[in-house]
Amino acid sequence: MKYSSLNRQSESINFETATIKGQAPDKGLYFPEHIPVLPTTFFNQMESLSDEEIALQVIAPYVEDVIPMAVLKDIVASTVHFPMPLEPVSTGVVALELFHGNTLAFKDIGARFMSRCLGYFVRNNNQKVTVLVATSGDTGGAVADGFYGVDGVEVIILYPSGKVSTVQEQQLTTLGNNIIALEVDGNFDDCQRMVKMAFNDPSVSAQLFLTSANSINVARWLPQQFFYFLAYKQWADKHQPPVISVPSGNFGNICAGLLAHQSGLPVKHFIAACNANDVVPQYMQSQHYAAKQSVATISNAMDVGDPSNFVRILALFQNEYQSLTNIFSSVSITDAETKQAIQEVFTNHQYLMDPHGAVGFVALQKYLQAHPHEKGIFVETAHPVKFFDVVEPIINEKIAIPPAIQSIMHKTKKAIPIGAQYEDLQAFLLSRR
């Protein structure tokens, strides 16, 4: 499998090089040169396969021989070591819970897979690798956990000051060791812009061996397909494929779902559920893409005004708008609708959603009202406790704190404040040489 830049100005490379580089020299995202299609027999026998066997068959064509099969098996087993259950919520609606990993967020899958791949690739490297990543919330904690203590790797995480939840900030700022948190006086788009500029700065690349752990990196993006295959394994009515609503910020998760669909996974329709950051819903109405300054919402991990992975979604459909609309739609959900859904679902169905899952739930409900014969899945991307400061006032109850969170809440925050100008990040990076 070769990977090409979507800007078409860089040479094709293999999975190892794409993982290490993160982003192409021409500033484009790497994209597989062909989409492997899985045989019908794979889907027919899926219920008899283990999660590890399913995940291995899905990812192996993308990795090929750059990682020995025995090593890849171990990486996959470590990646899908926690459950991803479908939980019934209301008539015709189930939640895909992706918050049972170490940091209680869906990004545990991509971060664990990438950290183990990168650890294998740099095992004999004499130069320290610096993983540079921007986070709007959950990526930071997942990457910090996934890479914590990995030999030869230093992780630098940029996060927007005051725009992540209390739990998210504790997860990404309290580990220390090889994990460094930079608290940026700006928003997520500032953080993401600064990271992208660093990758294209010759003065930095001359001093540091730099790679990314955002979903722009193929090793973070591709394993997110596992969610959708494992959901289909549990889906009761194989004769009626589900509608899947995915809370969407940087659009890596839903892009992975669409990739899985093109590999043969039966899905009726995908909904990109957005908050007030509505760049993609606006595009789907006008066919005109216009990035915006992100605005703060209670579903903060989705506060993205220029989602990087949407260009990959367009590439999946050869930039043909009509082909995209056949399987994909997008809708913007307000904070008021999100809060109302959290309260009503908790009261009426005894199911507690986090703000991001609630955006997915509302978007799915709207779709099913217009398509009453369909059934659907909404993706619960994080445990509600990660947003207790938002959720508890809505339900008027305290959320039980899992042991994984109890253990970090008393720890001291270790974060270095920097400005939102690239020169601030550049100076910090050059000081690390």
Domains and CATH numbers, the chain: 83-105+222-395 (3.40.50.1100)
* pLDDT confidence of residue 384: 95
Helix or strand or coil: residue 272?
A: strand
| Res. 125 pLDDT band, cuts 50 70 90 | confident
pLDDT tens-digit series, residues 139-158: 888 888 888 888 888 999 99
Task: Return the residue matching tokens 């207790």.
Answer: 388
- Regarding beta strands 328-332 and 376-380, do their DSSP bridges make them parallel or antiparallel, or are they unpaired? unpaired
pLDDT digits (tens, 9 = 90+) for 153-174: 899 999 999 988 888 899 889 9
Give the pLDDT of residue 127. Answer: 77
Residue 177 is classified by DSSP as: T
pLDDT of residue 211: 83
Task: Give the strand pairing for 179-184 and 415-418.
Answer: parallel
pLDDT tens digits along 261-314: 999 999 999 999 999 999 999 999 999 999 999 999 999 889 999 999 999 999
Tell me the C-alpha to C-alpha distance, in Å, between residue 257 and each of 199, 253, 296, 328, 353: 27, 7, 26, 11, 21
Q: Which of 403, 406, 400 lies closest to 385, judged by CA? A: 400
Q: What is d(CA 355, CA 390) in angstroms, rounded to the nearest whole number? A: 8
Q: Does 433 have pLDDT greater than 70? A: no
Does residue 126 register a pLDDT over 80? no
